[in-house]
Amino acid sequence: MKFEVGSALSIAAILFTVIVVAAMLIWVERRLLGLWQERLGPNRVGPFGLLQVVADMIKIFTKEDWVPPFADRFSFLLAPPIIMVVILLSFSVIPFAPGVGVIDSDIGVLFVLAMASLGAYSVMLGGLSSNNKYALLGSLRAAAQMVSYEVFMGISLLGVVALAGTFNLREIVLSQADGWYILPQCVGFLIFVIAGVAESHRLPFDIPEAEQEIVAGYHTEYSGMKFGMFFVGEYLGVVLVSSLIVVLFFGGWLGPAFLPPIVWFVLKASVFVAFFVLLRAAIPRPRYDQLMNYGWLFLLPLSLLNLLLTGAFVLWQEGM
Amino acid sequence: MTLLFYSAGAIALIATLSVILSSNVVHALVYLIISLLSVAVIFFALGAPFAAMLEAIVYAGAIMVLFLFVMMMLNLGQATEDEERAWMQPSLWIGPGLLSGILLLLFVSTLLTHDVTLAPVEVSVRDISLLLFGPWLLAVELASMLLLAGLIAAYHLAKK
């Protein structure tokens, strides 16, 4: 069996790696947070606390799997898998290295955006079906936040698409051989990172699950592996946004030849995963209305302006 | 691709029927989303990946989210479900059923008299953009003006 784009081996390897990495991130995040907050973090189970993840998994799988009697069973059971499925599907268009990927799609960027917009249902249905006021408040916030930030996320990507002239993520990487898009598209990059944090509702934008205000937001009523799916889905989202940043703005697997391409990809993506954790450790949570105002009144005009200037630049370059 | 087309079509039919039959509004919405997604798959099978993605992003991803958003704020409970069930009387099915039956007859007769074969032609994103910003530029501009008018109206209404 050959290791190429779309081969069964490639698909299985990517699926396995992505899920294991997302699970390991639970430990990585806690250790990194400990480092930045001058404490130790989980270091008891196994070497460096590495087996903490295994212990957590055993705990979460053996917990009582409980559906509240007042919940709407159909939507309650449907909500957690949605986030896992849509994010894992998004990984199918990510080009990890030459020959490593699931599909080479000409609509790659659009596919990721479509899946991101479907991800909102997980949070909304989860909160709505719980029949709990805190869960409902959380999912209302999540819905507004995700729908709004999806817009800026899409528009900030279009600058890169205009420069590369394609929606195909692999071709976008290849077109960065003479220079990464981080330089011409630094504004788009900043908007994308902010929107990416908001889309994966990670701290500091974890307003849908703000513990201090609304218990745990949309997953208040969830326990066991159903909660676990929301949890792992969040980390999968972190990995996905980091991979997208690398692919779109930092030249994907491209790098000096002394390291294999896949190593470059993993290294670059790890930097952004660590950055996500640092954000959590460093920045306090804004208020809900601040987040919405910031998005619509600042990020939207800025991203439109960025798109306009990029378009003008592309036209000017073609005219030369 | 033919298998994909027919299976997606079957899912769309079943899901749409469930939208009408389900008395719980949230369940009906979930079925509607499934129906829209299967229509997206149909577009894909017919060789229009761009239209498929737009269907998923705009209809399933944005408009339906707003529907669900409104639904959340309405606080619909058991009472609405009972009301819905009461409305679902067999006598109500006669009129729409008859009309749909006539439509189906017309549709089938058209299919039989005309030579229609499923021959998907792949339409790439580039082709669509060239068409939109070439021959159809005026229509695109008019649509954008309409959207702008809607945007300003929404702003005005929200400000009051």
Give me the residue spans of the domains in chain B. 2-84+94-109+122-159
- Residue A17 tokens read as 């790696």
Whether A2 maps to a domain, the answer reads no
Please report the ipTM that was assigned to this predicted complex.
Answer: 0.81
Q: Tell me the nearest-neighbour CA distance from B47 into chain A, angstroms.
A: 12
Whether A3 maps to a domain, the answer reads no
Select from B21, B41, B50, B53 the residue whose CB has the most chain A CBs within 10 Å, as the one to mutate to test that interface.
B53
Whether domain B2-84+94-109+122-159 has CATH 1.20.120.1200: yes
Picking from A15, A25, A18, the residue whose alpha carbon sits closest to that of residue A231 is A25
Question: Are the beta carbons of B26 and A125 separated by less than 8 Å?
Answer: yes
A242 near A272, Cβ under 8 Å?
yes
**Mean pLDDT score of chain A, rounded to an integer?**
83
Whether A27 maps to a domain, the answer reads no
Q: What is the mean pLDDT of residues B142-154?
A: 93
- Nearest residue in chain B measured CA to CA from A71: B77
> How many distinct structural domains can be found in chain A?
1
pLDDT digits (tens, 9 = 90+) for A51-101: 888 888 888 888 877 778 877 788 888 888 888 899 988 888 888 878 777
Q: How confident is the model at residue A1 (pLDDT cuts 50, 70, 90)?
A: very low
Question: pTM for the complete prediction?
Answer: 0.85
Select from B125, B126, B128, B151 the residue whose CB has the most chain A CBs within 10 Å, as the one to mutate to test that interface.
B125
What pLDDT is stored for residue B152 in this prediction? 92
Least confident of A45-54, A83-92, A143-152, B75-84: B75-84
- Check whether B118 has a pLDDT greater than 70: no
Question: Are the beta carbons of A111 and B53 separated by less than 8 Å?
Answer: yes
Question: Are the beta carbons of B56 and A140 separated by less than 8 Å?
Answer: no
Q: Tell me the nearest-neighbour CA distance from A74 into chain B, angstroms.
A: 8
Cα dist from A221 to A81, A206, A227, A302, whole Å: 15, 17, 9, 39
Q: What is the mean pLDDT of residues B122-132?
A: 83
- Check whether A3 has a pLDDT greater than 70: no
Burial of A112 (0-12, 13-18, 19+ CB in 10 A): buried
A171 compared with B142, residue with greater pLDDT: B142
Range of the domain at A248: 66-319
Cα dist from B105 to B6, B94, B102, whole Å: 20, 16, 5
What pLDDT is stored for residue B148 in this prediction? 93
